[in-house]
Amino acid sequence: ARLIGASPGEIVFTSGGTEADNLAILGRARLFPGSPVVCSALEHRAVLASAHAAEEDGSPLHLLRTSEDGVIDVSTLDALLSPSPAVVSVMWVNNELGTIQPVEALASRCEQAEVTFHTDAVQALGKLRLRVDEVPVSLLSLSAHKVGGPKGMGALFVRKGTRLRPLHYGGGHERGLRAGTENVAGAVGFALAAELAEAEREAEMVRLGAQRARLEEGLRSRIVGLLVNGATAPRVASICNVSVPGADSEMLVLTLDMEGLAVSSGSACSSGAIAPSHVLTALGLPADVAGPSVRFSLGRTTKDSDIDRVLAVFPSLVERMRQSA
């Protein structure tokens, strides 16, 4: 709570970011049945699936317009604030592109309109300054394992005065918002991991930024037609998403895995999917560009030698695929 500027009574512990997102979206939609839900087409599946579930229950779903670089157009929000939505949800950092959304501007507009604003900040924790005493978000989702904490542990910040309908019923745990015995060990591990991530945040982002710049420059110079998705937008340093027309993303992922390099196509949570990334499709990229995409994730264990390894292996792999095609 202290790290994000909240009070302890405003934190609800959950089983992860997915549950936190579900509680935020469905907790508001079920409290105000029939009221619209507003989000972007770039959201994590946990938000989009919750929004579609609310839509099936009678809450209209409205999507915010997105620019080609993966940033929400703030000016499109105003037209969607009347009739008053049950909730507006925009992620702080996109999990596939690393693009940073204008959350402060979006939250401020919602505050002025007295509309509840939720942000999925799972990818932002440990990478950006997150302070709910500075940015007027009503609800904010977090996940422990994104900062090296225990898996299966998350949290939802619920600003004092923000009402939700719980998803779980039973005892009065978490002020009636989440029934069930609290995972105390998970909460302690989460708190410690978050403290360590925040202490190292600025230096780590500088280090990863240099590594990503070298990775992207190296790939661009070695692979004809390679596109770095979201490159013109503000991004966190930990994600690099590239499209390689003429290659097969599934084969790229499998072959790189055999070379000892772990990458993903789309988000890690849905990397088993064959369809093109819904995020890249939402940017308007054609299937032959959105389909052959790969995401490189950089973190505290990423070494300079890992970047060297990618630059040595990836371009030749792409060349072989293009020749065989």
The reported pLDDT for the residue numbered 172 is 72
Q: What is the pLDDT of residues 104-152, one digit of tens each?
A: 999 999 999 999 999 999 999 999 999 999 999 999 999 999 999 999 9
Among residues 141, 168, 193, the one where a domain terminates is 193
90 band by pLDDT with thresholds 50, 70 and 90: very high
Going along 199-238, which residue ranges are E strands? 227-228
The reported pLDDT for the residue numbered 241 is 97
The reported pLDDT for the residue numbered 10 is 97
Under DSSP, the state recorded for 15 is S
CATH classification at residue 151: 3.40.640.10
48 and 128 share a domain? yes
Range of the domain at 159: 2-193
Q: What is the mean pLDDT of residues 157-170?
A: 94
Can you tell me the distance from the alpha carbon of 298 to that of 289, in angstroms, rounded to the nearest whole number? 23
**Is 0.85 surpassed by the pTM of this model?**
yes
62 and 184 share a domain? yes
169 and 269 share a domain? no
Residue 290 has pLDDT above 60, yes or no: yes
Going along 2-82, which residue ranges are E strands? 11-14, 37-40, 61-64
The reported pLDDT for the residue numbered 173 is 75
Q: What is the mean pLDDT of residues 249-268?
A: 86
187 band by pLDDT with thresholds 50, 70 and 90: very high
DSSP string, 104-160: HHHHHHHHHTT--EEEE-TTTTTTS---TTTS--SEEEEEGGGGT--TT-EEEEE-T
63 and 122 share a domain? yes
Mean pLDDT in the chain?
A: 94
254 and 174 share a domain? no
210 and 158 share a domain? no
Residue 66 has pLDDT above 70, yes or no: yes
- Residues listed for the chain: 325
100 and 219 share a domain? no
Among residues 154, 176, 193, the one where a domain terminates is 193
Q: What is the mean pLDDT of residues 12-38?
A: 98
The reported pLDDT for the residue numbered 274 is 61
Q: What is the mean pLDDT of residues 76-85?
A: 95
272 band by pLDDT with thresholds 50, 70 and 90: low
Going along the chain, which residue ranges are E strands? 11-14, 37-40, 61-64, 87-89, 117-120, 139-143, 154-158, 227-228, 239-243, 293-297
15 and 157 share a domain? yes
65 band by pLDDT with thresholds 50, 70 and 90: confident
Name the active-site residue from 39, 110, 240, 269: 269
325 band by pLDDT with thresholds 50, 70 and 90: confident
The reported pLDDT for the residue numbered 216 is 99
224 band by pLDDT with thresholds 50, 70 and 90: very high
223 and 130 share a domain? no
96 and 116 share a domain? yes
Among residues 159, 193, 227, the one where a domain terminates is 193
Residue 78 has pLDDT above 90, yes or no: yes
Can you tell me the distance from the alpha carbon of 245 to that of 222, in angstroms, rounded to the nearest whole number? 14
CATH classification at residue 254: 3.90.1150.10
Residue 249, class by beta-carbon neighbours within 10 Å (0-12 exposed, 13-18 middle, 19+ buried)? buried
- Count of domains forming the chain: 2
Task: Single out the residue of 184, 179, 181, 306 nearest to residue 240, CA to CA.
Answer: 306
122 and 257 share a domain? no
Residue 219 has pLDDT above 90, yes or no: yes
186 and 208 share a domain? no
Q: Among this protein's residues, is 39 annotated catalytic?
A: no
